[in-house]
Each structure stands twice: as structure tokens, then as C-alpha cells.
Structure 1
Amino acid sequence: MNLLLVRHAQSANNLLYAQTGSSEGRHADPSLTELGFAQAQALADFARTDATWQGVTHLYCSLARRAVQTAAPLAQALGLPAQGLAQAYEAGGLFERQEDRTPYAVPGLSHAELLADNPALLWPADLPAAEPWAGGFEAYEEPGVLEARAAQVVEVLRAAHGEADTVALVTHGHFTQFLLRQFIAHGNAYFRVVNTATTLLTLPGPDAPEGWGPLVDWVNRFDHLRPEQVSQ
């Protein structure tokens, strides 16, 4: 299986931090910015003619609004549904803070609400169809929490797809690090992935020698963006 990881386009929280260096005033489930929508469209336009993207057989996305919005033009360009994958959200999930800065869980949007952002979105079969996504709030600072969730995402994808499939997953910058750690023993290294950057891995098949890791085709590819469109 080829696994194409995509970081979502610039969100309102990304822009807030870029402008202020702070997350004060952040939104629990932000939308894309004007630049973010342009980045997502640029990736989709690139996907229409790129050989790797034209080989994508399945498209998945986190249920965070920014990921669903990023996947929308890709789904249209590829002629594929965007399958929601509830476990692929950003570290910590959706949360707000009390006055004393203590975080508390907030839900995401429902399928009906997210369809306004992405008409191709398919709701996960294991989630109630009419209820909002719970938001995935977690104590992600605790050891092993993100590693376990990343392993679950990989297990879900491996179980659903064979060697001939090329799977694209629109996910998040921090969580991407833990997905990569499922395949690459990179210790404390942190891979830079800008908004809408892609990372391509070819996972070893069942007949590969024991201990073989993935072929890393590239990390943080963003040549679909103009220089002025690049953002963190």
C-alpha cells in the first residue's frame, strides 16, 4: 500500500499563531483561511495531472473541519468520496479552556453540517449518523496516547487496503509525526510539514523480509504552492 499523508491547509488558528505567536483566541474547530482555501485548491489542481495523485484509489480525512475542507477540492479533482476517519484528528482533539486555562472537551460538527463544507464526505460507519463527532479530546501529553492512536489509524488502513492501493489521508501536522513513528525510528526528530504538504510512503507487503520498513518517497513536498502561498 502506498500511503500519501497530507497536512490540512492553513486554518484560522495557524494564521492566529503566525500573526501573534500565541494561541489566545483560538477556535476549537477552526475553518480554513482565505489562503487555506487557495492552498487546498492548488493541491487539487496539481492532483488532476500528477501521476502519483492520479493513482490514488481512496481518500480519507480527519473529521476536524479544516481537514474536511481541505479534502473537498481533492475529492472533486480525483472523483472520489472523502471517507471520514475519526481517529485521524490533531493531538489533543477539540477543546476550549476555562478561565484558569484548564482545557475541556467540545464536540465537532455533524455529518449534515460538514457536508456543507465537503459534499463528498462519507461518515464513519461506527459513528452515530445524526450526532456531531465527539471531538476526540485527549490528555495527549501522557506517554503513549498519540502513539496508540497513530497505531490504530495505521491498523485501520492496513486492514482495509491491499498492496495495489494508494491511500491519501488528510490529517494534521503534529499527528503526522506519530504516524511516521509507526514506520520510521526517528527518535526526537520532527519533520517539518507545511500546510498542504504531502509525504509519500510505500509500506512493505506481507511477503517482505522481517524488519523491513517503508520506502520513503518524499517528505514535506509542496511544489504545488507558489512561494507566497507557503505557510506553517
Structure 2
Amino acid sequence: MQLFFIRHAQSFNNALWERTGSSNGRSEDPELTETGIKQAKILAKQFAHSASDQEGLNHNAWKKEELHLTHLYTSLMIRAVSTGIEVAKCAGLKLMAWPDIHEGGGIFVEDPETGVRVGRAGKRRRFFEENYPELILPPNLEEGGWWNRPHESTEECEARARMVIDTLLSRHGSGSDRVAMISHVGFYNVFLRVLFQIPEQAAVWFALNNCGITRIDFAKGEMGLVYANRLDFMPVDLIS
């Protein structure tokens, strides 16, 4: 399996933080900015044609200008879905919703006075059906909102990352599938920590820009980080 972990394009929350250094005024589920829409379209072009079907750990991956996917998953957060829709169009794939690859914390708002993070419902099934009819939703997605629970704790996020890794390996680990997940930078860090068994006390942060691509190969009991936060396809003035 070749796994492509992709961060969503720039959201309004990302732009807010970049502009002010603060999350005051953040949205619980932001949409893409104009810059983000441009980024998503450029990202999508990288998956428009078939590349080599070479199996095993690929040490020449940086030479590949075209990337071929067999499976495409997205978080149900709007910034990820909107990014995934563009990739799906170019890749000629169905976009599969995978609620478990959402950003750490889930859907929440922060009380401005107490700082307490309060969970919200998230978008309803009908919203996705009306606005993203091409998105394949899980059959058990409730109409009351896909999140609809308290703010996720660090421990819960770590357990979720383990579950996602186990599910990926169960579904795709024994073959040559090329799997992309449109997800989030916070979850990315937890995912890598769990995958590579990095101690919790280690003070490390893995950068992943908007639309950055990290590739991890799994083959014959081996696991290799082929590249991280790849952005050579993105114009410099659009990197965020």
C-alpha cells in the first residue's frame, strides 16, 4: 500500500490565524477561502493521470510528476470535503467519507469567557446529500449531525489514530492499493506519532501545509516514509 496523507486546502480559520495569530472568531466548520479553492484545483491536477504501478518501497518517488490513486477518503469537515471533491474529479474516483479522519477535537466552539471547548452537532446527512451529491456517505450517518458529542480529548484522538491505522492495514495493507486521505494537520501529528511509536513526551511537531502531501509506503512487512509535506507542485505565492 502507498498511503498519501493530504492536508485540506486553506480554510477561513487558517487564513484567520495567518492574519491575526489568534483563533478568536473561528468557525466550527469553516469553508475554503479563494486561495484554498485555487490550491485544491492545483492539488487535484497531480492525480489526473496514471503513474508507475511499481510495487515495494519506491526510492525514486520524487521523480514522479503524476500520481495514480485507487482509493480516496475524506474527513467530513467541509474544508476536507471541498478539497476531496476536486481531487476526485481529476482522479476519476469516488470520494468516500470517513468520519474517523477528522481533525483532533471534532466539531466545537470555544467559550470566549471560560475557554471551554463545547462540542457541536456538525453537518447533517441532508446537507451533504444536497451540497455534495457525489460524496459517498456511510450508511450509519445520522441526520442529527455527524459529530454531535463533546470535544474530543487527546487520549480519544490517539485511540482513533490507532483505529484508523488498523483499518487502513486491514483494508489495503496486503496489496498494492494507492490510498489518499484528505485530513488535517492536528490529526496528522497524532497519526504519525502512533504509527512510528514516537514517545508522547517527545517535543516534536510535523509541519503539513495546506494541500501538503506525505507519502508512506507499506510493503512486505516494511514501512517507509517516502516524503513529507510535498509541495513542489504548488506556486510559491499560494503556499499557506
SS in 2 for 1:199: strand
User: Could you tell me how far 1:117 is from its partner in structure 2?
Assistant: 4.8
User: 1:185, CA displacement in angstroms?
Assistant: 3.7
Deviations 1:143-167 (A, max 9, x none): x322211011112222222422111
Secondary structure at the counterpart of residue 46 of structure 2: helix
CA shift at 1:137, angstroms? 4.2
Specify every segment of 5 or more residues in structure 1 that has no aligned partner in the other structure, as ranges.
Answer: none
1:113 corresponds to which residue?
127
> For the residues of structure 1 that align with 2:148 and 2:40, how far apart are their CA atoms?
23
Instruction: Say whether the 8 Å CA contact 1:111–1:132 is kept in structure 2.
Output: yes
Letter in 2 for 1:11: S
Map 1:82-231 to 2 at 5 A: 82-98=95-111, 99-115=113-129, 117-128=131-142, 130-134=143-147, 137-141=150-154, 144-161=155-172, 162-187=174-199, 188=202, 189-205=204-220, 208=221, 212=222, 214-231=223-240
In structure 1, distance between residues paired with 2:168 and 2:133: 23
| Partners of 2:148 and 2:2 in 1: CA distance | 28
1:21-40 deviation per Cα after TM superposition (whole angstroms, max 9, x unaligned): 10000000000100001100
Specify whether residues 165 and 71 from structure 1 end up closer, same or farther in structure 2 by C-alpha distance, changes over 3 A only.
same
Paired with 1:204 and 1:125, the residues of 2 have a C-alpha distance of 32
How many residue pairs get aligned? The number is: 222
Question: Secondary structure of the equivalent of 2:5?
Answer: strand
Per-residue deviation at 1:86? 0.8
Structure 1 residues 125 and 102 mapped into 2: Cα distance closer, same or farther (>3 Å)?
A: same
Output the amino acid matched with 1:60.
Y
User: Could you say if the C-alpha distance between residues 64 and 135 of structure 1 is closer, same or farther in structure 2, counting changes exceeding 3 Å?
Assistant: farther
1:76 to 89, 105, 119: 89
Cα shift readout 1:3-52 (whole Å, capped 9, x = no counterpart):
11000010000000001010000000000100001100000122214727
CA root-mean-square deviation? 1.9
Q: Does 1:32 align with 2:32?
A: yes
Structure 2 spans left out of the alignment, 5+ residues = 52-63
The residue aligned with 1:4 is: 4
* 1:21 aligned onto 2:54: no
Contact 2:165 2:195 in 1 (8 A): no
Separation (CA, whole Å) in 2 of partners of 1:87 and 1:194: 21
Note if contact 1:92-1:136 (Cα within 8 Å) is conserved in structure 2: no
Report which stretch shifted further, 168-177 or 94-103. Answer: 94-103
3-state SS of 1:60 partner: strand
TM-score with structure 2 setting the length: 0.85
Which of structure 1's runs of 4+ aligned residues deviate more than 6 A? none
Q: Distance in 2 between matches of 1:136 and 1:220?
A: 31
Which amino acid is 2:217 matched to?
T
Greater CA drift, 131-140 or 98-107? 131-140
Q: TM-score, normalised by structure 1?
A: 0.88
SS in 1 for 2:76: coil
What secondary structure sits across from 1:87 in the alignment? helix
d(CA) in 2 for partners of 1:39, 1:135: 30
Residue 77 of structure 2 is matched in structure 1 by 64
The farther-off stretch of 93-102 and 214-223 is 93-102
What CA distance in whole angstroms lies between the structure 2 residues aligned with 1:181 and 1:12? 27
Residue 72 of structure 1 deviates from its aligned partner by 0.7
Q: Go from structure 1 to structure 2 and tell me whether the alpha carbon gap of 1:224 and 1:114 turns closer, same or farther (over 3 Å shift).
A: farther
Distance 1:135 1:7 in 2: 23
